[in-house]
Amino acid sequence: MLFDRERRRRRKKRNRMCNDTPRIHLAFLRSLVLPQWETCQRSSQKCLLDSMQPNNSAAWEGMDCEQGSVSPRYIDVRSAEDVQIAFRFAQQTGVMLSIKASGHDFKGRSGAPGSLGLWARLPLHRWYHFVADI
């Protein structure tokens, strides 16, 4: 009983961390969307848009907007060689790499402030007649 109470208390505290970001529940998709998730969880640099009307200029006029956790530069990865070159560059310069595939994970780990992003949207290998090994 005491353990359950403590666990609920910690969960509430954790959930309060990003409550300044509006949450929208889409029942028909059974999903939770956190607009501008990358601004709250990663860097607190933000310029939140009006999620109901993104073209509302009141959100950014007169505001000090920053990049947030979105990488300022990306490499469009087309081959394994592109990845090798990026890793060599990161080792030589100390620049952090972040990897962006088709989306993001909910914890915001697909971006990092000041990092060099690897945009790995395209698959490096394709199997047209895949047969699973059993």
Domain chopping of the chain, boundaries: 1-68, 70-124
Residue with tokens 């990865």: 77
Q: What is the pLDDT of residues 53-70, one digit of tens each?
A: 778 888 778 877 777 777
pLDDT confidence of residue 29: 44
Within the chain, which residues score under 50 in pLDDT?
16-32, 40-42
Distance set, CA 92 to CA 75, 115, 129 (Å): 17, 14, 40
- What the block records as the tokens of 41 is 């969880």
Name the fold adopted by 70-124: 3.30.43
d(CA 103, CA 119): 10
CA-CA distance, 134 to 132, in Å (whole number)? 6
